[in-house]
Amino acid sequence: TGVPAIKTLLTIKQMGDESNPNINSHMSDEMVEVLVDHFEVSVEIRAAVSLEDEVLSEFEIEDAEADLLPRPPIVTFLGHVDHGKTSLLDALIGIDVVSGEAGGITQHIRAYQIEKDGHKIAFVDTPGHEAFTEMRARGANVTDIAVLVVAADDGVMPQTAEAINHAKAAEVPIVVALNKCDLPGITPDKAMQDLAANELLPSEWGGETEVVKTSAITKEGLDDLLETILVTAELHEYKANPDRPAYGTCLESEQQSDRGVVCKVLVQGGTLKIGDVVVCGTSFGRVKSMNDTLKPSIRLEEVGPSTPVNLTGFNTPPGAGEKLYVVDDIGKAREIAESRGHAEHEQNVAGSVMVSLEEMARRLEMGRLAPSDAEIVTLNLILRADTKGSIEAIKKELGKIDHPEVRIKIVQALVGGVTVADVRLAQASEAVICAFNVVPDENARSLAEEVGAQVRRYDVIYKITDDLKATLEGRLKPEE
């Protein structure tokens, strides 16, 4: 209608509305009419609830506490390249990659469920941590526990540090596998010190991080690692309702010439059955077959929470990270998938949502005018600077900013130029990147532009704090 939302909200308030509406509030038809008169504009009243909303709210049924049963934990391996992620997972599940999953699907992401003393564990192994972050960036959360693999001879390396930040941003517990302990002359002390320096103080040093000494070669420590995972899972009491229409996440998918679309799905709640009608992103279909990911010859009729399967039946390959839901009829599934296809197209044309300080300032100001509840908002930052000294100085300055409603959180602070990994992390955690005396590399710059992440460059520290204070006060205005 051309009337800014903020003006609309103010007007509603001036009219004496006591309900403290915010930008997401529903407006009654009468209120719309009053406003239309007031602003002398015309509005086209669309169906209040789109099909998608209707179906989504149906999916997002809150399970009653009594229906929730314990489910296996979903574990992801993260770590620096060559520290032994692949070898450890292979050793744990008793296969080697070459012979494993022959009839499955080309593996980028591996996902298996194993059993240890009657307790199941699901493992999801993503190449590098890009996949982990990318999934999170799409709002898909497929990890309960992160196993951080650190080679005892190498200690914490740059990708280890990144992995730690990713896991922390995802707020998942971290279990450390201190790997390659079979190597002669290994003293784990240096690696332990590295961990402590990265805020993962080992429990044997009085901290809270479980560090298990492992070897993928001799298999030392593997039982210990599984037990530690199970204890961690027990502490967190992961639960799901197995007795409802299934939902899950597509991990990856591909079109195969003989089998059609094969999709690796992690079922997260409910029970998925052969013949179920499913919709996933802009794809839909009826589940035709489900195969075990570890032993592809095993065909499954139905699978419950925390189970990965290779599934056929989709019309087109769904995107990695898309949510899968069961709906009750194929016509509805088609309609949802197609309407999403159109919406996606429109969104691509319109460009993606920017995460920027200006946008945060706007949101904060919005919330202040129409406070929905007294929630504390977090403003996520990723710092890149020329030296460790600069980082310390910036952190110190930021530490002085104290605000009742907003918490400034530094998701990651590293020395050096802005990288693609930083932009991915910014995207996943809705963070703004502050680059102090450094610049983004070319790939990072173009990715940031593509995904709408903001990289702000500074060369004086107080400019950073000034901008942040202005953001918090909602007076940071868009850059020209």
81 is in an annotated binding site: yes
CB 457, CB 386: distance < 8 Å: no
Binding status of residue 85 toward ligand GDP by CB under 6 A: yes
By beta carbon distance, the residue nearest ligand GDP is 84
The CA-atom distances, in angstroms, between 116 and each of 120, 145, 193, 228, 460 are 6, 16, 31, 12, 55
Contacting range for ligand GDP; rule: CB under 6 A; set: 84-92, 140-148, 308-316, 413-421: 84-92
Binding status of residue 183 toward ligand GDP by CB under 6 A: yes
Counting Cα atoms < 13 Å in the Cβ hemisphere of 356 gives 18
CB of 153 to ligand GDP, least distance (A): 8
Radius of gyration of the chain, Cα coordinates, nearest whole angstrom: 25
CA distance 460 to 308: 50
Binding status of residue 155 toward ligand GDP by CB under 6 A: no
CB of 83 to ligand GDP, least distance (A): 5
Binding status of residue 110 toward ligand GDP by CB under 6 A: no
CB of 131 to ligand GDP, least distance (A): 13
CB of 148 to ligand GDP, least distance (A): 11
Binding status of residue 310 toward ligand GDP by CB under 6 A: no
423 is in an annotated binding site: no
129 is in an annotated binding site: yes
Count of Cβ atoms closer than 10 Å to residue 196 Cβ: 16
Binding status of residue 41 toward ligand GDP by CB under 6 A: no
Contacting range for ligand GDP; rule: CB under 6 A; set: 177-185, 277-285, 367-375, 410-418: 177-185
Count of Cβ atoms closer than 10 Å to residue 47 Cβ: 8
Count of residues making up the chain? 480
CB neighbour list of residue 181: distance below 8 Å, 6 or more residues apart: 152, 188, 213, 214, 215, 220, 221
Binding status of residue 84 toward ligand GDP by CB under 6 A: yes
**H/E segment holding residue 145:** strand 145-151
CA distance 102 to 238: 31
Q: Give the x/- contact pattern for ligand GDP in 192-231, rule: CB under 6 A.
A: -----------------------xxx--------------
The percent helix, strand, coil of the chain (3-state, each to 5) is: 35, 25, 40
Counting Cα atoms < 13 Å in the Cβ hemisphere of 236 gives 20
Q: Residue from 76, 159, 160, 179 that binds ligand GDP (CB under 6 A)? A: 179
65 in helix, strand or coil?
helix
CB of 90 to ligand GDP, least distance (A): 7
**Binding to ligand GDP (CB under 6 A): which residues in 400-459?**
none
Binding status of residue 97 toward ligand GDP by CB under 6 A: no
Binding status of residue 159 toward ligand GDP by CB under 6 A: no
128 is in an annotated binding site: yes
Contacting range for ligand GDP; rule: CB under 6 A; set: 20-28, 39-47, 64-72, 83-91: 83-91
CB neighbour list of residue 288: distance below 8 Å, 6 or more residues apart: 260, 274, 311, 312, 313
Q: Residue from 17, 130, 154, 182 that binds ligand GDP (CB under 6 A)? A: 182
The sign one gets for the Cα dihedral 283, 286, 287, 289 is negative
Distance of CA 196 to the CA centre of its chain: 25
258 in helix, strand or coil?
coil
Nearer Cβ to ligand GDP (83/120): 83
Nearer Cβ to ligand GDP (81/343): 81
Q: Residue from 81, 197, 377, 439 that binds ligand GDP (CB under 6 A)? A: 81
Q: Residue from 8, 55, 75, 86 that binds ligand GDP (CB under 6 A)? A: 86
CB neighbour list of residue 7: distance below 8 Å, 6 or more residues apart: none
86 is in an annotated binding site: yes
Residues lying near ligand GDP in the complex (CB under 6 A): 79, 81-87, 179-180, 182-183, 215-217
Binding residues: 79-86, 125-129, 179-182
Binding residues for GTP: 79-86, 125-129, 179-182
